[in-house]
Amino acid sequence: MNANVKSGRFRRYFYRTGISLLAMYAMIVVALALLEPRLVYPGAYITTVPLDSAMATEPIEYTTSDGNQLKGRLLRRAECSNYLLFMHGNLSKAQRLDELAQRLSSAFDATVLLAEYRGYEDDITPTETGLIQDCEAARDYLCESFGIRNSDIILYGRSLGGGCAVALAANGGAKALILERTYDELVGIASRQYPWVPVRLIMQNRFDSMEKINGYPGPIIVIHGTADELIPIECGRRLFQAAESDQKKLIEVTGLGHNDRLPAEYLREVVETVALFNSHPQ
């Protein structure tokens, strides 16, 4: 067998192997694109057992602009000085955050509404646009039920909920915007987790808070832990730096991981900062 024949066979082998690998890569990318809702919103696909114990919060219902009926949780506080809308993280559910609602209500002297998202208590597929509509409906419920305005509500978003909170603040305002352990852009987090996938080309649920945050000029508080491995603290720093508000504060918590409980002294600092900003409006 001469050298030319051998060379031709090797070229064909490498060509076929390359084609096969490219086909496999394309299949994986397509599969990830199809699975995006499960990858972005895994909490929506986890079945939880309803709670039987007595709860401080009460179930409430509100209808979204696209006609979906959602169930949130409300903790009323008599003669309160604040109203707070909390938008939870990915693996949480409103019905599981009773203790947090009590903690926030006490700290802020607030009536607290725990917003719920589509897909987390029903069979609707969650999307970025859908989640924002869900949180807007929760905000509307507060306004209509208590005769207040959007600008009277403290928007508090944790992790996934931070993107919803930024979107609401940019479209309607707020008394204050609190962002805890959240991202600058969700597509950036996904890009770091899947560096071998063209995430920025195929991802639909982008949650670009960097682009939206300057639509809201009011008080902003960003809280992030130095030990957060899921959403690195650099994301919180970039989001804080992107905000052009004259009233903003970055609170870095040494050793705090993504799912750790926020220490009481830092929650007090958040409350005091909100009060200070609102006592000196710009």
* Distance (Å) of CA 130 to CA 205, 225, 254: 10, 29, 34
Residues 187-243 pLDDT 10s: 998 888 888 888 898 899 999 999 999 999 999 999 999 999 999 999 999 999 999
Q: What is the pLDDT of residue 278?
A: 93
pLDDT, tens only, 252-282: 999 999 999 999 999 999 999 999 999 977 6
Mean pLDDT computed over 133-154:
98
- Report whether pLDDT(138) > 60: yes
Question: Is 80 exceeded by the pLDDT of residue 20?
Answer: no
* pLDDT computed for residue 25 by the predictor: 76
Gap between the Cα atoms of 176 and 273, Å rounded: 10
Domains of the chain (ranges, CATH numbers): 35-279 (3.40.50.1820)
pLDDT reading at 48 higher than 80: no
Across 29-46, average pLDDT: 86
User: Angle at the Cα of 278 (from 140 to 112), degrees rounded to 5?
Assistant: 40
The pLDDT tens digits for 104-115 are 999 999 999 999
Say yes or no to pLDDT of 84 above 70: yes
Rounded Cα gap, residues 171 and 150, in angstroms = 10
Please give the share of the chain, as a percent, with pLDDT higher than 90: 74
Per-residue pLDDT band for 57 (boundaries 50, 70, 90) equals very high
What is the pLDDT averaged over residues 52-66?
A: 89
The pair of three-digit structure tokens given for residue 21, joined into one six-digit string: 């690998």
> What length does the chain have?
282
pLDDT of residue 209: 97
Given this model, what pLDDT does residue 212 score? 97
Separation of alpha carbons 72 and 150, rounded Å: 18
- Residue 177 host element (H or E): strand 176-180
Say what the pTM is.
0.92
In angstroms, rounded to a whole number, what is the distance separating the alpha carbons of residues 208 and 238? 12
